[in-house]
Structure 1
Amino acid sequence: MSDKKKVLVMVASPKNERSGTLIPTNAFVEGILEGGEFESEYIYIDRMNIKPCRGCLSCWGRPDGSCFMKDDDVPMIRKKLEEADIVIWSFPLYLFGVPGQMKCLMDRIVGMVHPYMGQRLNEPGAMDRPMHGLQNQKPGQKIILLSSCAWCDLDVVYEPIIKQFNIILGADGYTLVACPQMRALHHRGGERRLNMLRAKYKKGGLELAKTGTLSKETIDLLQKPMFSEEVYKELVVQFVTHMFDRDDNF
């Protein structure tokens, strides 16, 4: 068994290896691995056998929080999530939320978090601490949400994601890195811009591996749009106009 630390990449795009979000994600992971301390594994959620949650909440009645359903891939996935030193959820923004495949998995692993015990979300400071929080989380584990979107207004379009994960994990329980303008960048950006994107995400991954965190300055750099708003608007119009001329779009 390897003694290297583990990076688990949870790919939530239904495109699997063709996901545009994997462009920054792969570069980020490459940076983490560069020092030789980590090894990586990718799980493509869309290919997994994941049955929907039945809402019985019996998982919260078991000491290990396990689900009663054992005949799909969720027990294996959960074990890997529990053992990883870094978990990267790689996903495109779908209607200001996570893709359905990812949400289905999140519902099934609700037993990994503490149960609801009457916490109030409107109390002073409530949104600064987790309403659930992970049970038995591996010490020092880092959770990264690496998400791409077509938008420029990250503070607006990611507000639902931020609120959701703040309530689940607490504001300090994860780090969000949002990659704007990704669809047009993927199909219209050209190799030079894509290489610039890869370079800065690789540097970000290296920083995480070395320091265990990402500075605000680094996150701001990773989230900086690659196009001006004027140029980007033109690209978006072109892309949507010719959307159905492509066979690799969706």
Structure 2
Amino acid sequence: MKTEWLIAYAYLASGIVMLIAYIFTHIYDLSVFMEVIFIPFYFYHSIKFKGANFTLKFFAASYILAFFIEFSGVHTGIPFGRYIYSSILGPELLGVPVAIPFLWSSLLYFSWLAGRGKIVTSSILMVAIDLSFDPRFSIHLWHWAVPGIYFGVPLTNFAGWFIASISIFAVLLLILPGSSKFSINALIFYTLLGLFQCIEDAVVALYLPALISAVIFVCIFAVLYYSHEISIRKNKKLQAIG
């Protein structure tokens, strides 16, 4: 197994250690710290796995686009709905925490890998991740002007995530054409990252959203894995016929 994937799984293992520490200390910064170190880990993984040129183009485009989408969200409510960020996320630029587009870039990257660079598939993976963490993060990191029906999160947020993700991935596909090869490690890591979010939900007593998201992530893994297996079998049959 390549070093970047070993470190990816080590990141998740360290997250479990942080969660255990949080359970005993209730220091919220421990939870935030895991999201902070996710960003340099993303850069390391992208450079090692896809190369510096890909990383530069992917990050530059995704960060800029995510920033303007967040700017629109904060100031107009489009496309997510009305919300405000808390001071926990640190320095802001025009009302948008500087760290937020970094988080977008990292999540877009791992969704892109697991979704093989396919726009709709990768966007669905982005929404699935948001389903798992938005109910939890909106307790401390941001607040909705009008709490929604999905554990305090408005449904417009998830529609907004899908629209925003499709828009960003469409631009990325123009800059970085071609779908990625299937990577079992990319799919496993994405699934485990999602399940880790579910564990974090459960730790703060968000049991039902944790359960819902866990089912979604398992289903995503099954669908993407078996669709790949079916594709391989079809290709083998075609080769045999040919």
Query: Same fold per TM (> 0.5)?
Result: no
Bigger helix share: 2
Bigger strand share: 1
Higher relative contact order, chain-length normalized (CA < 8 Å, sep 6+):
1
Normalization by structure 2: what TM-score? 0.28
